[in-house]
Amino acid sequence: MAHRTTTIKRAAVAGGALAVAALLSVAVAADAGTSSKRSEFPQGDDPVHLDPADFSAEIDNHRWPMTVGSRWVYRVTDSADGSKQRDVIKVTDQTKMMGDGIEARVVRDIVRDHGKPTEVTRDWYAQDSHGNVWYFGEHTIAYRHGKPHDNGSWQAGVDGAMPGLALPAKPKVGMSYREEYSKGEAEDQSRVIRLDAQAEVPAGHYTHVLMTEDFSPIEPKVSELKFYAKGSGQAVLAVDVSGGSEREELVKYTH
């Protein structure tokens, strides 16, 4: 799921630094092998024209189903200071009409530290007729010393912001796409690295996992690997390989 400044769902990858380095070398090779091809999805600030009739708030992408009532619980750990948080994501029965006339599903995301909310977000998603899941923005409030502050909220169709792809229906190694675009605020991009990865988290062991790398031109030192398993919804785990020290792993998924 696209998310404020590439901080989505972080978790450790078995194998340590050498494994991460090897995975990144695959990413570089994949990118080099496809750099001459134009992606079918928007990149950077590419304009995009979407037909509302081609979209639905009913999302059943097999790697990212968003059935109303589905709930994900994550454990978040920061190795820099040892802090731990709990992140709960739930698909609501609510929808929101976006500026371009597309009806999007509202997904609630609450991060808590010792029971107190540190960040509360409502994300907006919709799926096109090909099964691609699109991301249309977020309303995010962070709590600092108990006081609420906007933390990078944006909405497609407002002030030049544009939607991006949360997850393709038919990912291919080397495929790249924009996840979100709000100039200077949210410019996350992603590329597909592997289709056959494995991931083990408290929620279980997953095979045939899609692995992507997230990066952003406004945070050039930040790089994150994310892992999507069939039927799991959201990312089951992710790992910062540069510019961060948090990890987040899926503990429980109910739907």
Angle at the Cα of 25 from the Cα atoms of 24 and 30, rounded to 5 degrees: 95
Question: Which residues, in sequence order, are bridge partners of residue 125?
Answer: 105, 135
Give the pLDDT of residue 239. 87
pLDDT of residue 15: 39
Give the per-residue pLDDT at 39.
66
pLDDT the model gives residue 232? 82
pLDDT mean values, one per 10 residues, the chain (255 residues): 40 38 44 49 95 97 94 94 95 95 97 96 98 98 94 94 96 97 96 96 96 96 94 87 91 94
CA-derived radius of gyration, the chain = 17
As a whole number of angstroms, the distance between CA 36 and CA 19 comes to 28
pLDDT score of 139? 98
77, 246 in Cβ contact below 8 A? yes
CB 186 within 8 A of CB 4: yes
> Could you tell me the CA-to-CA distances from 34 to 27, 37, 167, 210 in Å, in that order?
11, 5, 19, 18
pLDDT at 233 (0 to 100): 75
250/193 Cα distance (integer angstroms) = 21
Number of residues that this document lists for the chain: 255
